[in-house]
């Protein structure tokens, strides 16, 4: 929920139909199956607040699950409606996979101090749902908790959409490995200034009416450290999860607004697949400008999208930003990247009826980087959201060997079929972006 374009958060599961058929443009992706275990959703949170007549964040926090309270990061500079400072940071709870993310300020006296900002990722819609719960305070005149409509503050006065990418919003969160304004901003390690402030913060945390309910390890710098232990890397975990969910959102947009051959072209270019000599000859024989047509700038132009609304990266941070990638639409997640996860999500949707591509996708290797228990985090993201080919890991080359031969062949077949790809493409309405 943002105003003045300062912000952050994320989310997941729920019920519902696959996201709309728009103006005759056919979707060719299919929804991922809902996992059997029921997650804690925003609707469960609302029921919890209502059934216990909760009237404050302080009362709510101890009733939340350990999973939610043990997975969090802290912001000492906020770009949201909620205030933050080094000694009274904004807390972002995100659980095991960030499908439900909720954030709160450290004091009822701060800006947004009586409000809980949440984002639920609706996996069946492949969309982020922004919500707010406002609790009674001495200034708002409420006697019970008030719940917002989708994409607005609880009082209905402020829309979340202006600072979260328009009518198809997404979280605001910077790319790996720099997260300005967040503790552990340098690859999940505390800078010298952050260490000093964090020590002062932790000294009083145990007695704090809100922070004392957070679950933290015994190490002085926990939950940060960046020591190669995944539990010490909350910003990396949050970035990886957020990127997977946003990749599903991007795949929905690509499936809605690009013809099928160019959707395959997006996957070819994003993954870095190469064409064989025979495939190149077939493409050249088509008489079309195929190299230009599948360049990422051209594909994004056809989508009618700017980079800001598509990725979650924050471009207007006055304190600095992550080093710019080779293209503005890239967003590094850690071991993977936004464009490559999006490519796999596009292929999952296109694989219906294609046994070879389905088998290739099923055989993608997960990240072997961490110990068995910690490795479950990445395998969980792979199965719940979308598999990542892990561009920055050794398994990437073997994953490409599985995918590229079939993906390039499907693109060449579709592109060379005689159906023109230069037909008018329905662009996203300017009002959205």
Domain match, 166 and 267 both: no
**pLDDT on residue 18:** 36
Stretch 168-194: mean pLDDT, rounded? 94
**pLDDT on residue 37:** 56
Stretch 244-258: mean pLDDT, rounded? 93
Stretch 284-309: mean pLDDT, rounded? 86
Cα separations in angstroms, 352 against 17, 30, 167, 219, 309: 18, 8, 29, 48, 29
Residue 364 belongs to a domain: yes
Residue 431 belongs to a domain: no
- What is the overall mean pLDDT for the chain? 84
Stretch 250-272: mean pLDDT, rounded? 93
Distance separating alpha carbons of residues 376 and 379, to the nearest angstrom: 5
Reply yes or no on whether the pLDDT at 75 is more than 70: yes
Distance separating alpha carbons of residues 1 and 312, to the nearest angstrom: 14
Domain match, 62 and 143 both: yes
Confidence at 151, pLDDT banded by 50, 70, 90: confident
**pLDDT on residue 217:** 84
Nearest alpha carbon to residue 272 among 80, 407, 385: 407
Q: Of 187, 206, 235, which closes a domain?
A: 235
**pLDDT on residue 372:** 77
Q: What is the torsion angle, in degrees rounded to the nearest 10, for the CA atoms of residue 361, residue 364, residue 370 and residue 376?
A: 40
Domain match, 218 and 156 both: yes
Q: What are phi and psi of 73, to 5 degrees?
A: -140, 165
Domain match, 265 and 341 both: yes
Distance separating alpha carbons of residues 167 and 148, to the nearest angstrom: 16
Confidence at 44, pLDDT banded by 50, 70, 90: very high
Reply yes or no on whether the pLDDT at 374 is more than 50: yes
Most confidently predicted of 212-221, 275-284, 326-335, 360-369? 275-284
Under a CB-based contact definition with an 8 Å cutoff, are residues 79 and 180 in contact? Answer: no
Reply yes or no on whether the pLDDT at 423 is more than 90: no
**pLDDT on residue 2:** 39
pTM: predicted TM-score of the whole model, two decimal places: 0.86
| 3-class secondary-structure state, position 175 | coil
Cα separations in angstroms, 56 against 50, 133, 138, 392: 12, 10, 12, 43
**How many domains would you assign to the chain?**
2
The residues that bridge with 299 in the sheet, in sequence order, are: none
Domain match, 355 and 315 both: yes
**pLDDT on residue 418:** 59
Residue 216 belongs to a domain: yes
Stretch 102-127: mean pLDDT, rounded? 96
Q: Of 235, 267, 285, which closes a domain?
A: 235
Q: Of 235, 268, 286, which closes a domain?
A: 235
Helices and strands (DSSP H and E) totals, the chain: 14, 6
Stretch 285-309: mean pLDDT, rounded? 85
Residue 280 belongs to a domain: yes
Per the structure, the complete domain to which residue 304 belongs is given by 248-415
Domain match, 264 and 402 both: yes
Stretch 400-414: mean pLDDT, rounded? 96
Reply yes or no on whether the pLDDT at 416 is more than 70: yes
């Amino acid at each position: 929920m943002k105003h003045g374009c300062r912000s952050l958060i994320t989310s997941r599961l729920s019920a519902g139909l696959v996201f709309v058929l728009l103006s005759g443009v056919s979707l060719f992706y299919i929804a991922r199956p809902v996992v059997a275990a029921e997650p804690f959703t925003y609707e469960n949170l609302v029921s919890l607040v209502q059934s216990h007549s909760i009237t404050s964040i302080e009362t709510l926090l101890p009733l939340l699950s350990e999973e939610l309270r043990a997975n969090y990061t802290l912001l000492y500079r906020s770009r949201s409606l909620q205030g933050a400072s080094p000694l009274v940071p904004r807390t972002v709870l995100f659980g095991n996979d960030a499908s439900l993310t909720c954030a709160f300020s450290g004091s009822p006296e701060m800006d947004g101090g009586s409000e809980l900002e949440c984002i639920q990722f609706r996996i069946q819609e492949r969309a982020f749902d922004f919500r707010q719960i406002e609790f009674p305070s001495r200034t708002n005149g409420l006697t019970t908790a008030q719940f917002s409509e989708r994409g607005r503050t609880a009082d209905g006065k402020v829309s979340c959409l202006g600072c979260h990418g328009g009518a198809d919003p997404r979280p605001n969160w910077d790319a790996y490995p720099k997260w300005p304004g967040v503790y552990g901003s340098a690859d999940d390690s505390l800078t010298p200034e952050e260490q000093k402030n964090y020590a002062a913060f932790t000294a009083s945390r145990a007695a704090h009416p809100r922070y004392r309910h957070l679950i933290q390890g015994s190490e002085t710098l926990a939950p940060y450290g960046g020591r190669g232990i995944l539990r010490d890397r909350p910003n990396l975990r949050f970035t990886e999860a957020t990127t997977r969910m946003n990749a599903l959102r991007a795949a929905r947009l690509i499936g809605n607004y690009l013809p099928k051959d160019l959707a395959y072209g997006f996957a070819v270019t994003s993954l870095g697949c190469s064409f064989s000599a025979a495939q190149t000859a077939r493409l050249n024989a088509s008489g079309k400008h195929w190299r230009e047509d599948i360049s990422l700038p051209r594909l994004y132009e056809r989508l009618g999208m700017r980079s800001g609304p598509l990725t979650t990266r924050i471009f207007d941070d006055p304190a600095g930003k992550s080093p710019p990638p080779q293209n503005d639409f890239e967003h590094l997640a850690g071991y993977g990247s936004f464009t490559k996860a999006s490519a796999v999500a596009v292929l999952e949707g296109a694989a219906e009826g294609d046994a070879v591509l389905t088998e290739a996708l099923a055989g993608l290797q997960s990240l072997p980087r961490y110990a068995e228990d910690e490795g479950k985090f990445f395998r969980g993201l792979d199965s719940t959201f979308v598999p990542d080919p892990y561009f920055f890991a050794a398994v990437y080359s073997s994953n490409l060997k599985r995918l590229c031969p079939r993906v390039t062949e499907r693109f060449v077949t579709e592109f060379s079929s005689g159906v023109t790809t230069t037909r008018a493409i329905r662009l996203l309405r300017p009002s959205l972006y």
